[in-house]
Amino acid sequence: MLFYIPLAGGQSADAAYADRASLPSARRAADLWSTMLAADAGNFEAAWKLARTAYWLGGHAPEPERRGFLERGIDAGRKAVALQPNRPEGHFWLGAVMGALAESFGVRQGIKYRKPIKEAFETVLRLDPAFLEGSADRALGRWYFEVPRLVGGSRRLAETHLRKSLTYNPDSTASHFFLAELLLDEGRTLEGRAELQKVLAAPLNPGWTPEDREFKEKARRALEAMKEE
């Protein structure tokens, strides 16, 4: 386990988040950003980075703790949006955390957050389409795939947004994996398999190595399952 001494400017929190594959480090990052935000309610960076860290913990902490982290992330994301409404960071991570909560905790949460999630990512597209290498397009692609057609879902728009996201980063493991899921769900097996292979072939992104490793493992498992069918 790594230990971090708090430094000026949030350096230790950034270092802890960079080591988020270690759950204690991710927790430390969240605690440090929370402390900074408590000390300065106007700290925009602490607010959106707390939301980002809560998103990770909401998917990796022990099950009983996940909802609490996600709700904490929504609160932090809302604070970031209020502080800097014309910056994409708060909108994006607020949308991401709401999406994780909606996806993981039942139909009621999905209904509650469906519209705000879409609005958050559409706001990011208006402010900065290239933010995080097209992450808003990827997130909207996922939204259109997951949401039922009767309430706004669209396979056509899902594919459009996912392919658009790949124009910003052709090596995005997340975009290739989500596109593969869509294609396979539509019975486009050869195309879906090709997207999974692209996930495996993509280089690790230094800023997103933990996520890349997870998507590569998911792609490997999916390809193995296809061989067994």
The 10s digit of each residue's pLDDT in 165-193 is 999 999 999 999 999 999 999 999 999 99
DSSP the chain: -------GGGHHHHHHHHTTTSHHHHHHHHHHHHHHHHH-TT-HHHHHHHHHHHHHHHHHS-HHHHHHHHHHHHHHHHHHHHH-TTSHHHHHHHHHHHHHHHHHSHHHHHHHHHHHHHHHHHHHHHH-TTTTTTHHHHHHHHHHHHS-GGGT--HHHHHHHHHHHHHH-TT-HHHHHHHHHHHHHTT-HHHHHHHHHHHHHSPPPTTSHHHHHHHHHHHHHHHHHHHH-
**Percent of the chain surpassing pLDDT 70:** 92
Question: What is the mean pLDDT of the segment spanning 91-96?
Answer: 98
In this prediction, residue 87 carries a pLDDT of: 98
- For residue 8, pLDDT over 90 is answered with no
Domains in the chain and their CATH numbers?
18-128 (1.25.40.10)
The pLDDT score that the predictor gives to residue 106 is 62
